[in-house]
Amino acid sequence: MTPAPHELLCSAERIPKPAELQSSRIADLDGIRRFKNSLDCSTLTTMDACQGHSWGASEAVNLARTLRKESVPILLTIQVDSVSKPGKDDKFIPANVAQAINFYQLDRLLHGQRQIVAADPLSTQILGNFRFDYKDNPINCDGYPWYARIFMKPHIEIESDPKVWNRVESLIRSKLPPASVSSTYKYSY
């Protein structure tokens, strides 16, 4: 049985411990920034995939920059409606990232980065910047608080869109060694 994307990936509610991140070699960075300083880069030789939504997507790029300083390559970063934190830049993807992809929406106040760019186009391939629009095809967001559905509905629609997460899962699985695909961790904190 194929795990659902939320089982394959860690979510904000299922934040892995640093040792688990290193053993799984996948980082979902919604909320993971507080663990960044705990990562033992001396034992991490490659990260297969690094993905996040909103501030987590911005943190994915920030972690890639940290790992670049330690000469740790990342095969793939995935930004879903990446929202930069003050003083941070999630547009330029560092050279230690082999491939990067960006999914975003532009409706209402809270929306993602429109375009990501390789800091070094010879080292990093940008797979694309894909815009989603939910005006004609809304996504059910009933599980979210009323204020989120009113003030940032498109931002949570992209987070809940099965098309986006099926693509994310497919991209991540394409980077995993064959044995890892069948032994993916399911976090439940």
Domain residue ranges of the chain, discontinuous segments joined by +: 5-176
pLDDT of 66 reads: 87
Sole residue written with tokens 């795990």: 3
DSSP letter for 107, please: -
Return the pLDDT at 85: 81
Of 34, 25, 30, 26, the closest CA to residue 11 belongs to 30
Instruction: Tell me which residues of the chain have a pLDDT lower than 70.
Output: 1-43, 179-189
- pLDDT for res 24: 44
Closest CA to 91 of 65, 122, 67: 65
What pLDDT does residue 183 have?
A: 39
The Cα–Cα gap between 38 and 17 comes to 9
**Tens digit of pLDDT for each residue in 54-66?**
988 998 898 899 8
CB 31 within 8 A of CB 16: no
CB 43 within 8 A of CB 21: no
CA distance 134 to 157: 7
Beta bridge partners of 101: 78, 128
Model confidence pTM above 0.85: no
Question: How far is the C-alpha of 80 from the C-alpha of 69, rounded, in Å?
Answer: 24
**Amino acid 111: pLDDT:** 86
> What's 38's DSSP letter?
G
